[in-house]
Amino acid sequence: MSISDENVGGSEPTRWRYVFLALLVFISAAALLGGLWSVPRLVPELAAQPSASPLPPTAVPSPTPVPFGISQVWAIADEDAKTLSFRMQASAPPEQPLVEAILWYDTEAGRTPLSLSMSARQTVQLAYTATLATEGFTTTLTNGELDYWWLVRDTAGQTRRRGAILQLSASLADQAVLPTPEPVAADFAWSQQTSPHFVYHYPPDSAAERDLDQIAEMAERALATITPTLRTDVQAPLSVYLVPRLFWQGGAAYGGDTLLVSYLDRNYTGVETWTYFAHESVHVLAHDWLQPKEQGGPDGVLVEGLAVWATGGHYYLDPIDQWAAAIADSDQFIPLHDLRTGDFYYDYQHEIAYHESASFVKYLIQRNGLDSFRALYGQANHDPAHDEELVRRLYGTGYAELEAEWLSYLSSLPPDPSARAAWWLTVRLFDLMRLYQTELDPPARTLPAHIPPNWDQDLLQAFLHRAQEPVNRLLETALISAHRAIRAGDHERATQLMDEIETSLQADGQVIGSELVRRQGILDLLEEQDRAVLRADARAFQATLDPSLRLEAGTQFVTELQEVAYIHYDQEPVTLSLDLEQAQVLVQLHATALNGPPPDNGRLFVLTFIRHGETWLMTSRQPVQPTVPNPPPED
């Protein structure tokens, strides 16, 4: 910076001028401040009114709402004490407190729900200990798991339910005992209903009761197919006892007025019910042909041959002569003399004996007419000499000559390879069915000697219950599929199924074979669903559903299931059909809730599954109405 010389130093007059100027500035500033201080006094409107800045309002804490529900459930198994302790915590708002808790667990004793009443409470913690030595340890689950649930109810009647699984130790699980069927009530009585020609007797709450209107229509139509053929009318209504289990092939006749017929959804013979009514009604109607009735009656060839011929087949409409020709052309042919004589007719292979007999009876009627056959049937008494003389008088020749004529006729028929293949598969399948009955369903090999009013409690118990173990459900649905495959002409599939069924039976019911393994996977999934419903486990049930169903109808369905407190829930498989990627299962629902059977109890549903890797997932669940097939119309 350059500074001029005048600014450096200075004379005396110049310094006093600066002092005077500073004093003047000070006086002016003081006067200005004094004026500003006086303004509020001179102009009162400008005076500020005193006010306090408001503080933020003090927050008053609101009470935390108390949820209504069960917050926790847990259980403890004491192996040493042999006890099961079930515990839970629950709460409710003060305006609607808790008044009741209910416990259910999956043992025979625990399936009767335990109600624990209490004074009105907002929160509760409860425990219940089951002593196995006292109440027993009978359960259907054999995998070491035990399902249970708690339910609470408030003063408004609303309920909440929550369940879980108690994992048992191996040694404790080994002590579990499988349940036995509930005994038949001492005062059991058959329900009854009538149609023009039949009086139906059936157990209450059975499939027969559900379908009785259709059964009655079918029975009348079946009767109408045979009465013109036999030229015989019903003189008095026939009594029919419909039992919910299979015995032998499913039908029997007693004397001149009573039929015993199997009627159940899972009939693993594959026989249509109308054929039972037609076949057994023939026996009853032909009983009136006997003259006199007390002299023994005709042999098995005439008796069973007439019933199969008049029905049009044994189990459905069969190519009777084609199948008989296949038998005659094989080493399994049974000479008619062997079938006719002695008391061993029913010891021979059933289907072979019946179809040989039917074809021979058909030949006799075509040869000499129904009147000659009625005379033979009515006067034969199972005595070889008497019956030989009778047949010569009526037919002009003996039994040996008639058999030769019949065999000559069969040999003249053009062979039908498909019919013959179906025949031998059918024989094998029914033999396999009888092996299954012997090994895994012994009551099915019982043929009662008396009509149901004369049965004792043991026989009632056997005929009012059917086998329901997992292996029974698996193999019975597989037998039904094999029947259907034969009738559809899919002989390769039928053979594969029968091979696997036979192998499993030889291995004491172990699941062996790719087809049976896939089937077991689906039945296991049904059991998982049943257990999830019982313990109100929405997450476990959702895990069995295809994702598309979870997002749509599945959510609503799961919600509906949770709202009902089930104490029994069983989707009993009726039929199961599947290929590599998709399966359909027809199930009958057996369910009981706290307030009794729900509306869907006893109904049929079709469940559809698709394959996801190694598992199956359900894609739909639709109710279906049962249908009882009528006899096919005559050609």
CA 191 to chain centroid = 24
Helices (H), 441-570: 457-463, 470-487, 491-506, 514-534, 538-542, 547-551, 553-563
Q: Does a structural domain hold residue 328?
A: yes
Burial 578-604 (b: 16+ CB within 10 A, else e): beeeebebbbbbbbeeeeeebeebbbb
> What pTM value is reported for the model?
0.84
Which pLDDT value is given to residue 97? 93
pLDDT digits (tens, 9 = 90+) for 226-238: 999 999 888 889 9
pLDDT digits (tens, 9 = 90+) for 356-378: 999 999 999 999 999 999 999 99
pLDDT digits (tens, 9 = 90+) for 264-281: 999 999 999 999 999 999
CATH of the domain at 108: 2.60.40.10
Domain contains 401:
yes
Amino acid (1-letter code) at residue 87: R
CA distances to 21, 82, 106 from 177, rounded to whole Å, are: 120, 14, 12
**Where does a domain end: 395, 415, 435?**
415
Instruction: Please name the amino acid found at residue 531.
Output: R
% of the chain beyond a pLDDT of 90: 65
Mean of the per-residue pLDDT values for the chain? 86
- The CATH number of whichever domain residue 531 belongs to comes to 3.10.450.50
- Residues paired with residue 521 on neighbouring β-strands, in sequence order: none
Q: Are residues 407 and 518 in the same domain?
A: no
Same-domain status, 518 and 405? no
In-domain check, residue 581: yes
Is residue 561 included in any domain, yes or no?
yes
504 domain residue, yes or no: no
Number of folded domains in the chain? 3
Q: Would residue 552 count as lying in a domain?
A: yes
Task: Give the domain-ending residue among 398, 415, 432.
Answer: 415
Whether 394 is in a domain gets the answer yes
pLDDT for the residue numbered 509: 86
pLDDT tens-digit map of 165-203: 999 988 888 888 887 778 888 889 999 999 999 999 999
Structure tokens at 506: 């030889």
Residues spanned by the domain of 89: 69-173
Give the length of the chain: 635
Q: At residue 88, what are phi and psi to the nearest 5 degrees?
A: -160, 155
Alpha carbon distances (Å) from 479 to 430, 437, 468, 498: 9, 12, 15, 8
Tell me if 307 is assigned to some domain.
Answer: yes
Q: Do 518 and 634 fall into the same domain? A: yes
Q: Under a CB-based contact definition with an 8 Å cutoff, are residues 286 and 297 in contact?
A: no
236-259 tens-digit pLDDT: 899 999 999 999 999 999 877 899
Is the pLDDT reported for residue 319 higher than 60?
Answer: yes
In percent, the amount of the chain with pLDDT more than 70 equals 86
Say whether pLDDT at 635 is over 70: no
Please, how many CA atoms are within 13 Å of residue 45, restricted to the half-sphere of its CB?
Answer: 0
Q: What is the mean pLDDT of residues 406-421?
A: 93
- pLDDT 10s digits, 446-489: 999 999 999 999 999 999 999 889 999 999 999 999 999 999 99
Domain stops at, among 366, 393, 415: 415
